[in-house]
Amino acid sequence: MTNSPLAAASEARDTPEWAAFDKTTARWGRITMLVGLLFSLAGPVWLVYFSGLQVDAGKVWVAFLAIAAVVGVIWVLEPFAYFPILGPAAMYQAFMIGNISNKLLPSAVAGQASIGAKTGTKRADLAAILAICGAALVHVVSLVVFVGLLGTVLLQVLPEAFLAAVSTYIFPAVLGGFVVQIIMTNRSQPRVLIVAALVSVVLFGLSLLVPALSALATVLAVVLTATIAWLTRSKKTATEPIEDVS
């Protein structure tokens, strides 16, 4: 059994300390999200009422509905998709920081895998919190150094072929590493990998075969994943609590 502080903390699942942590996280997480919402709306409100651009409420609602028609379903599905891996505290972090699927989620999975934390446990929640803190810190530092201080210099020094390759392959490389990490984490659970593979085929195959339904592919993938996971769940998983891996 691991004697690290993280492992020791994760073993005490229902202690008063954990209850206080969850309560404090919920309170300050909501406050922080509301403050962030106010700041994000401050710019548009200023443009509408004080900039003289003559943008009325009707145009604002038309623009909102146009965006909601395209990505509105993601607003509902993303919390359900990310919560099992991130946990409550890291969810507040993730939605405040952004870039969840291509930065924070892979960081959380890598952090959990590095200490052998099982998804859904307090240990995994702690690993996700610390991993996201690390990812955000690296992101900010890299922005300050490589964009703020050296951005113009690097663009002038680096060859165009390198910049083109980076813009083309960086996103597939990040997601490819994330997929490999997920497979390695769940290699002892073939049922999880089979479900994930099946849903991936539906997600990408549907977009290729029926382009008109590509907007619904994510919805169908999430619903299909939840349905298959529920129907194929083991009795042990359904009746016994998830224990921390220490």
The two structure tokens encoding residue 53: 């651009």
Q: Is 70 helix (H, G, I), strand (E, B) or coil?
A: helix
**Mean pLDDT score of the chain:** 78
pLDDT at 2: 46
pLDDT at 230: 78
* Residue 234 pLDDT class (50, 70, 90 cuts): low
pLDDT tens by residue, 90-146: 999 999 888 888 788 888 888 888 888 887 788 889 999 999 999 999 988 988 888
pLDDT at 50: 82
Q: Inform me whether the pLDDT recorded for 239 exceeds 60.
A: no
* Residue 215 pLDDT class (50, 70, 90 cuts): low
Report how far residue 158's alpha carbon sits from residue 25's, in angstroms, rounded to the nearest whole number: 44
Quickly count: other Cβ atoms within 10 Å of residue 11's Cβ: 16
pLDDT tens by residue, 74-93: 788 888 888 888 888 899 99
Calculate Rg over the CA atoms of the chain. 21
Is the sign of the CA dihedral 206, 217, 106, 135 positive or negative?
positive
Report how far residue 243's alpha carbon sits from residue 119's, in angstroms, rounded to the nearest whole number: 10
Domain ranges of the chain: 5-185, 186-246
Of 1-5, 10-14, 239-243, give the range with the top mean pLDDT.
Answer: 10-14
Report how far residue 55's alpha carbon sits from residue 71's, in angstroms, rounded to the nearest whole number: 23
The predicted model gives 193-202 an average pLDDT of 75
Q: Is 151 helix (H, G, I), strand (E, B) or coil?
A: helix
Per the CB < 8 A criterion, the answer to whether 124 and 112 are in contact is yes
The predicted model gives 198-217 an average pLDDT of 73
The two structure tokens encoding residue 67: 């965006």
The two structure tokens encoding residue 101: 């699927």
pLDDT tens by residue, 37-58: 999 888 888 888 887 777 777 8
pLDDT tens by residue, 146-175: 888 887 787 788 888 887 777 778 777 777
Residue 230, judged by CB atoms within 10 A of its CB (0-12, 13-18, 19+), counts as exposed
Q: In this predicted model, which residue has the larger pLDDT, 139 or 229?
A: 139
